[in-house]
Structure formats: structure tokens, C-alpha cells
Amino acid sequence: MSLTIKDLEQLQSQNPDWQMELVEGNIIVMGPCDYESDEIGSRLLTFLNIWVMPRKLGRVTGSSAGFILPSIETDETTGDPEKRNLRAPDVSFVRAERLKKTQRDFVQLVPDLTVEVKSKSDRIKPLEEKIKLFLELGSTVGILIDPDKLLVTVYRPNQEPVILRDNDKLVIPELLPGWELALAELWPPEFE
């Protein structure tokens, strides 16, 4: 039995504390991530918002924002939206011209920037596959943050991934001209 977005919405209303995605007709319940992974995602979200908001460049969201993705065989304007995948990156950015007004629902578009933060229980391969799917469907940049190895991998369509280490700077000139972030800023501080 293939489930739909309406099925997911009904299950979500019955279980509001669950975070779920719809992948190929199957509902996947996402467990909570570890504290460090969420803190890293929140730090990135904050750094992005500090740049994006005053410049009115677009919208930055966290892991609870759901995107109804076009099917691989069709574009966004065809096919039954109820049969599409609904995915939620850990952090995402959508340019202002693509989403001029926020919506009180899932949005039917692919974010321009898709970020996944590896949690303690995650495996890298499924995260890479999720980012590659978003790129195939239209994301401009995908980022995978691996706190275990203190690495950030930046993916762009039709290019080899770029691996950044602690002394490197993350830049996304095609979406956020002038913005840069020293990778060391992503990792949670240790307090004495």
C-alpha cells in the first residue's frame, strides 16, 4: 500500500511530537537527533539567518520544514502531489524570488540549499543519497556536516564534492554572495 501526503498529515495530527518524512509511499518516523548534531544545525541556521534576513535574500528553515518534492519522472507542475515525496532537510534555504510569501503548509518546491547534519545514529550513505536527490531535483548546493570527523562536504550538480576541514571557510557564492563561515564556528564551544 502506497501512502500519500494526506496519510502523513493525518498521522502527524494524531502524533504531533513525531517528525516524519514520506519516501516512495512509505512514512519514515525520524527519531530525535543527538544534542550536538542539533546544536550544529542550529548554529548554521543562525549564521545563515544573520546574513539572509537583513538582506531579504530568502527563507532559512530547520528540520521541521517539509518540502513536497517533484517526482523524478515529472516536473513540479505535473503528477499527483499526493503521491510525491515529502522530505525535510536539517537546514534549508529558499531564495526570496522563489517563495515570496511563507505558507502555512508544506511547500511544493525544492530548496536552493539543502543541509544534512550527521547525527550519532546516522549512516553517511543515506545522507549523501538524500542530498544527491535534492540536487537532482533542483537544489543548487547540498551540504553534509559530519561532526564525528569535523568535516563538511559541499555538493553541487555535475561537480565533484568539495571536502572542507576545520581551518577552511564555507562559502556559497551562487546563493549567498559575500557570506562566509569559518568551519570552526560550526562546532559547539566548550565552556570552562
User: Shortest CA distance to 43 belongs to which of 4, 90, 76, 86?
Assistant: 90
Spans of the chain below 70 pLDDT: 1, 17, 31, 72-83
pLDDT, residue 3, reads 77
Decide if domain 33-185 falls under CATH 3.90.1570.10: yes
Q: Which residues pair with 93 in a beta bridge?
A: 60, 113
pLDDT digits (tens, 9 = 90+) for 98-145: 999 999 988 999 999 999 999 998 899 999 999 999 999 999 999 999
3-state SS class at 86? strand
Residue 82's pLDDT is 53
Domain ranges of the chain: 33-185
Q: Which three cell numbers stand for residue 46?
A: 543562525
User: What is the Cα–Cα distance from 69 to 87, expressed in whole angstroms?
Assistant: 7
For residue 166, the model assigns a pLDDT of 83
In angstroms, the CA 186 to CA 47 distance is 9
